[in-house]
Copies of this chain bind each other. A is one copy, B any other.
Amino acid sequence: MNAADAPRTAAALVIGNELLSGKVRDENVVELARLLRRLGVDLRRVLMVPDEPELIAREVAELSRDYTFVFTSGGVGPTHDDVTIASVAAAFGLEVGPHPALEKLLRDHYRERLTEGHLAMARAPVGARLLQTDDVRWPVTVVENVWVLPGVPEIFRMKLAVVAAHLGVDRPYVSRAAYTNLDEGTLKPLLDRVVADHPEVAVGSYPTWSDPSYRTKLTFDGKDAAEVGRAFDAFLATLPAGEPQRTE
């Protein structure tokens, strides 16, 4: 496999004391995960850390080296606990300064109500790219391979449209699933066989405790649709009569 064939990978760095203290429930990781899956990007690591600039800078630098894309969530407002912009800049040894395009957007938005505090939101690492789409007026700040996204879920989701437009779809994952009334203890030998015979297919087994319509969900995922189909069919052929309850 040469570099052009290598799968695109991603990591997420989720920033905020409010998440680690349990005051706020993260809503962004699952949205990012679903989008990346649809685009064919392999989300490999999610890290949640407090509002500490040195720590964030160190993690950004490391994740940026190890993954095709890094997405940060949170810490981009104007107050003292919004340290993401400065930390991402530090990760790459960049200065932070007012970005003319961001400053113009802020001036146009706040007009006579504009304060120095608002202008703090115009600050970006020097040399950062601002990416946007026709639909999403407020741009996403991108430094090297690091996409700086806001923590507020409504805005995070809006900005994912910019991510989708710029990354595009490349060899998306294909997924099949079967729902059975068998328990994992019974399924284990059947799954072991299909896993051994189809190493390129990721097979997952998920018992439910809350859905009375099935007991265990089995998933089959990969980038080669034919191989996923073969693994799925091979598994179904080993099930006892009356199973699966349904497939998708």
Q: Which residues of A contact B (CB under 8 A)?
A: 14, 17-26, 29-37, 43-50, 77-82, 110, 114-121, 152, 154-155, 173, 175, 183-189, 191-192, 195, 202-210, 219, 221
**Residue from B20, B30, B44 within 8 A of A25 (CB atoms):** B30
B44–A184 CB distance below 8 A = no
Pair B33/A19 contact, Cβ less than 8 Å: yes
Sample (11) of A-B pairs whose CB atoms are under 8 Å apart: A19-B29, A20-B33, A25-B30, A80-B205, A81-B204, A81-B205, A110-B185, A117-B184, A117-B185, A154-B209, A155-B209
List of B residues within 8 angstroms of A80 by Cβ: 188, 191-192, 195, 203, 205
A193 to chain B, nearest CB (A): 10
Given that A117-B188, A207-B77 are known contacts, is A33 also in contact with B47, CB under 8 Å in the complex?
no
Select one of B81, B152, B205 contacting A209, CB under 8 A: B152
Point out the residues of chain B lying under 8 angstroms from A203, CB to CB.
80-81
Number of copies: 2
Q: Is the CB of B30 within 8 A of A187?
A: no
Contact in complex: B45, A48 (CB < 8 Å): yes
Contacts of A121 in B (CB 8 A): 185
User: Are A48 and B20 in contact, CB atoms less than 8 angstroms apart?
Assistant: no
Whether B33 pairs with A204 at a CB distance below 8 angstroms is: no
Given contacts A79-B187, A80-B195, A185-B117, contact A22 B37 (CB under 8 A): yes
Which among A50, A114, A118, A204 has the greatest number of chain B C-beta atoms within 10 A? A204
Residues on B with C-beta less than 8 A from A209 are 152, 154-155
A14 to B33, CA, bound (A): 15
A236 to B208, CA, bound (A): 48
Q: Is B50 touching A47 in the complex (CB atoms < 8 A)?
A: no
* Contact call A191/B20, Cβ cutoff below 8 A: no
Q: What would 5 more interface pairs be, CB under 8 Å, given A21-B43, A46-B46, A117-B183?
A: A17-B202, A23-B175, A79-B191, A80-B203, A115-B185
Of B48, B78, B188, the residue contacting A120 (CB under 8 A) is: B188
Chain B residue with the shortest CB-CB distance to A23: B219
Q: Do A20 and B47 touch (CB < 8 A)?
A: no
Q: Are B115 and A186 in contact (CB under 8 A)?
A: yes
Chain B residue at minimum C-beta to C-beta distance from A52: B44
In angstroms, Cα B76 to Cα A184, docked, is 11
